[in-house]
Chains A and B, each alone.
Chain A
Amino acid sequence: MREKREKREKRDKPWIMRTYAGHSTAAASNALYRTNLNKGQTGLSVAFDLPTQTGYDPDHALALGEVGKVGVPVSHIGDMRALFNGLPLDQMNTSMTINATAPWLLALYIAVAEENGVDRKLLQGTTQNDLVKEYLSRGTYIFPPGASLKLTADMIAYTVNEVPKWNPTNICSYHLQEAGATPVQELAYSLSTAIAVLDAVKNGGQVPAAEIPKVVGRISFFVNAGIRFIEEMCKMRAFTELWDRITKERYGVEEASFRRFRYGVQVNSLGLTEPQPENNILRIVMEMLGVALSKDARARAIQLPAWNEALGLPRPWDQQWSLRAQQILAFESDLLEYEDIFDGSHVITAKVAEMVAAAWKEVEDIDARGGVIEAVESGYLKQRLVESNAARLRAIESGEQVVVGVNKFVETAECPLTKDLDDAIMTVDPAVEKQATEAIKKWRAERDQKAADAALAKLKAAVKSGQNVMPASIEAARAGVTTGEWAAALRDVVGEYRAPTGVAGARLDQLQPNAKSKVEALRARVAQLTVELGRRPKILVGKPGLDGHSNGAEQIALKARDVGFEVVYEGIRVTPEQIVASAIEEGVHIIGISILSGSHLALVPQILERLKQKGVHVPIVVGGIIPEADARLLEAKGIARVYTPKDFLLDNIMGDLVELVAKAATTHAAE
């Protein structure tokens, strides 16, 4: 009895528990945060909507259909006040998933804190601010790599003394895994990113050499944890070892505390399935074990996805279920009573050593290629990821990699949780966008225009002359400047970037014999169709809207080429107008649209309307996270097929595309 109590008293402090949340409006999100904190959540994780992430105001043409969808819109200091209304910012630990506009959102946060009399030195939290993984996977970058790195370096230089408890950048391996990275690639690419960031600070001249160890100590990571949770745990131990080595050898950091690998986690969303979605809660729990079991490499903060993410936006109850999983592990189980339970395991030690060696080789290879930025610009890294992801999907398609309920054990009783499917997810009120559009106009009309103009001019001058962007951004925040205006000012000075898509040069592994015959049959069908059409069938793969999750579009493009299509893929963030213009100029036979942000009902009809207006008649298919009811709606509007994550057999999709082109050709000839 006494022993048990002593053990309990010696328990480790639990990690910070968060839920990635935010939607509709600042006020609605504030209410959600309060409820979440009352449920025992210990930190906040702010999800911003795509216009905020890509630097557009709600009334911008590109924001259409995206306002308040995947997160909260924060367009100015008024929104930031409402978002944190009544929350004690000196006690909060706030994580913001914000990248290209990170300096701006931090500026707004600081400005609001100071209005409330909170010293910026007390602020704790994280801005994600890792642009490399945006170019490679997540897609909310705005500026060219060099300029982005400078902005990150600015934030680091500013916060190291001004906001010393803030993590100015959270280097992400998370999204690399989502883009298909193997554990070794995750290790190597994210550590190479950290090296690029630290080198930029070191060589940037804003931080004296003596303070570099302190800067190194502020670098944190954001990691993914997949279902192979033993390997994932080893990955975390490998991270710890490699980071210790890099900080010591490359940056000469002596203080052990500054060399510690500090990381937060969101466990894997990519592996969550649409069929039998109730199984996902089990996957989520096991994935959490990967980053919690090993004390020496335990996460500092964990956020879990919800079981129904592959169906649509999760509701508060869905998120609560995941939070409870964390609480049960931390408070009910005996996990936190032990030292590292894998110390001395020769199996784990050997696996970690193997990963360390392989990752180090990759780190050196990237270094030899001129560093991570060069490897992004040349398309090398993206290409490697596209290849890895193609291999992963092929393994699932062939059944080599088992996904329960998807490619094995698919028999199921009816799931009571999804009985009424459309109620099993949250939908954002369409009125939100209209209200936000009106609100931003009102905000602009009511502010001191002269002060806003002056602040913007000052901001531009600061960026142009290479000064730190933070002081001018904080002034702009106070002057009522908007998110769109801040980003436009920087776009003006440093330009915009379109990253390599990585698909053109990607190579596919040799097919397994059983998959080969299917692909060969498709190729033969395409060859036959080529003769009938007079030229090869040509497909446009379009990714409209602001959502940058391009994995699906990339894999469709790659697979279509593999079966013999000519493929035009333009990368992310194209407008409906651009898609239609490309379809015309390129003379395509079919169009495939990919949308994962939930804005399909706003964007797809626009494309249809415009095609009609221009007299283009080609079949269109849509893929994405599209609820059943929406799919029916789109089909009624003339979409030939709607694909969701349950359609993982790419060969079948390709078969559909070929037949749709063939059917359209005969109809056309008959006309």
Chain B
Amino acid sequence: MPPNERATRLAARVASAEKVAVAAALNLIEDRRAQSRSEIEALLTALGKERAPSFGHRIGLTGPPGVGKSTLTAALAREYRARGLHVGVLAVDPSSLRSGGALLGDRARMSFDPEDDGLFVRSLATAGDTGGLAYAANAGVEVLATAYDRVLVETTGVGQTETDVEHVVDTVCLVIQPGSGDVLQFIKAGIMEIPDVIVVNKGDHGKLAQRAAADLRGALDRLRNAGLGDAGHGTPLPVLVTSARDLVGIDALVDIFEAQRARVSEAELLERRHCGRVAWAVALFARRYGEHGLNTMGGRVALLDEVDRALVSGETPVGVVAGLGERCLARLRSPI
């Protein structure tokens, strides 16, 4: 079977949420062998045709380690399932720099029904990528978003470098815990500009959690008065207290996600997803060809521009990078 036809068939099976197919597609996009690239490209193109570009909602959960992101992700998945929505989860864990190995621990916190076809959980290792996201995360989200109504992306929790997630999802949810001093760190690091929702988890800590939320709202108000930190619609950034352990505040959080999804216009959503793909392509290019490659192609800004145009004309990020790579290598090889 020619690769294109194979990709089209696989994409159709992914769209009908056949678990074995979803898994096979994820295996493929994780495959880094050069010979797999054209097949990955064909798959991504085929997946794009299966769904309207504005389908579904992709939500990222980010925040420092130990705040309960895994438990919260599990609770959110359960709540979405209770509402009849199908959920794909992509849980990203750090790889060991020494061995390259990784312990993908998130399933352990999740008690799930193996017969449920409406829930799919996949772990992904960062494989040495900084930024809290894995090499294959963008493509992984494309796969899951074709199969499921809602996609939850849980990042590694390395905290202040986790800004990549905004390029992968429609809505970023920052999770912190009471009394950790994280908020101040985030404001300093500029991460506060990224989230669309802030959750103070471990609300079972009672007053401490409520106070952390109040402090946070105060800090955000001050930022807003200075012209920073709103949710993009002149409304204050929602701050919510949850207890993923005791399942408190989970339905309210899903309500907020759903409301945000409903409020965003189709054009805005497509623009955000488009920008995410541009960033993905440039990151992929930089990963393969490095600083030297970026300079060869006229620098990051010029490259962003070029990728932007290519994607508007219908190419996929992986395809764009393949083309750029060839040109880059040709330039490097040509005598000055």
Please list the residues of chain A having a beta carbon within 8 angstroms of any beta carbon in chain B: 144, 377-379, 495-496, 498, 500-501, 503-505, 523, 526-527, 530-531, 533-536, 557-558, 560-571, 575, 577-578, 580-582, 584-587, 614-615
A562 contact from B95, B99, B114, B115, Cβ within 8 A:
B99
Q: Are A580 and B114 in contact (CB under 8 A)?
A: yes
Q: Are A563 and B99 in contact (CB under 8 A)?
A: yes
Please list the residues of chain B having a beta carbon within 8 angstroms of any beta carbon in chain A: 19-20, 22-24, 26-27, 30-33, 36, 65-66, 93, 95-96, 99-105, 107-112, 114-115, 120-123, 125, 127, 245, 247
Known: A500-B108, A564-B99. 18 other contacts (CB 8 A): A526-B99, A534-B30, A535-B27, A536-B102, A536-B127, A561-B96, A561-B102, A561-B103, A566-B123, A567-B101, A568-B123, A577-B114, A581-B114, A582-B107, A586-B104, A586-B121, A586-B122, A587-B26
B112 CB contacts on chain A under 8 angstroms = 578, 581
**Can you offer 24 A-B residue contacts whose CB atoms are under 8 A?**
A144-B245, A377-B245, A498-B108, A498-B109, A498-B110, A500-B108, A504-B103, A505-B65, A534-B31, A535-B32, A536-B127, A561-B103, A562-B96, A564-B100, A566-B101, A567-B101, A571-B108, A577-B114, A581-B114, A582-B107, A585-B22, A585-B23, A586-B122, A587-B24
Q: How far is the CB of B37 from chain A (nearest CB, A)?
A: 10
A580 CB contacts on chain B under 8 angstroms = 114
Answer whether A564 and B101 are a contact pair too, CB < 8 Å, given A536-B127, A584-B20.
Answer: yes
Q: Are B102 and A567 in contact (CB under 8 A)?
A: yes
Q: Are A570 and B108 in contact (CB under 8 A)?
A: yes
Q: Which of B101, B108, B109, B120 has the most chain A CB atoms inside 10 A of its CB?
A: B101
In the assembled complex, the Cα of A571 lies from the Cα of B115 at a distance in Å of: 19
Q: Are B99 and A523 in contact (CB under 8 A)?
A: yes
**What is the chain B residue whose CB lies nearest that of A145?**
B245
**What is the chain B residue whose CB lies nearest that of A503?**
B103
In the assembled complex, the Cα of A466 lies from the Cα of B189 at a distance in Å of: 45
Q: Are A504 and B93 in contact (CB under 8 A)?
A: yes
A585 CB contacts on chain B under 8 angstroms = 19, 22-23, 120-122
A568 contact from B19, B20, B104, B115, Cβ within 8 A:
B104
A503 CB contacts on chain B under 8 angstroms = 103, 105
In the assembled complex, the Cα of A581 lies from the Cα of B113 at a distance in Å of: 9
B122 CB contacts on chain A under 8 angstroms = 585-587
B22 CB contacts on chain A under 8 angstroms = 585
Q: Are B105 and A501 in contact (CB under 8 A)?
A: yes
Q: Are A534 and B36 in contact (CB under 8 A)?
A: yes
Q: Which of B93, B99, B122, B123 has the most chain A CB atoms inside 10 A of its CB?
A: B99
Q: How far is the CB of A504 from chain B (nearest CB, A)?
A: 4
In the assembled complex, the Cα of A581 lies from the Cα of B112 at a distance in Å of: 10
In the assembled complex, the Cα of A500 lies from the Cα of B122 at a distance in Å of: 19
Which A-B residue pairs are the 8 nearest by beta carbons? A534-B31, A504-B105, A581-B114, A561-B101, A577-B114, A571-B108, A534-B33, A535-B30
Q: Are A498 and B111 in contact (CB under 8 A)?
A: yes
A563 contact from B101, B109, B115, Cβ within 8 A:
B101
In the assembled complex, the Cα of A378 lies from the Cα of B247 at a distance in Å of: 17
Q: Are A534 and B23 in contact (CB under 8 A)?
A: no
Q: Are A496 and B101 in contact (CB under 8 A)?
A: no
Answer whether A568 and B101 are a contact pair too, CB < 8 Å, given A535-B30, A584-B20, A615-B20.
Answer: no
Q: How far is the CB of A541 from chain B (nearest CB, A)?
A: 10
Q: Which of B66, B100, B115 has the most chain A CB atoms inside 10 A of its CB?
A: B100
In the assembled complex, the Cα of A615 lies from the Cα of B19 at a distance in Å of: 12
A535 CB contacts on chain B under 8 angstroms = 27, 30-32
Q: Are A565 and B108 in contact (CB under 8 A)?
A: no
Q: Are B100 and A560 in contact (CB under 8 A)?
A: no
**What is the chain B residue whose CB lies nearest that of A505?**
B65
Q: Are B101 and A569 in contact (CB under 8 A)?
A: no
In the assembled complex, the Cα of A656 lies from the Cα of B27 at a distance in Å of: 23
A587 contact from B23, B127, B247, Cβ within 8 A:
B23
Q: Which of A526, A534, A557 has the most chain B CB atoms inside 10 A of its CB?
A: A534
A500 CB contacts on chain B under 8 angstroms = 108-109
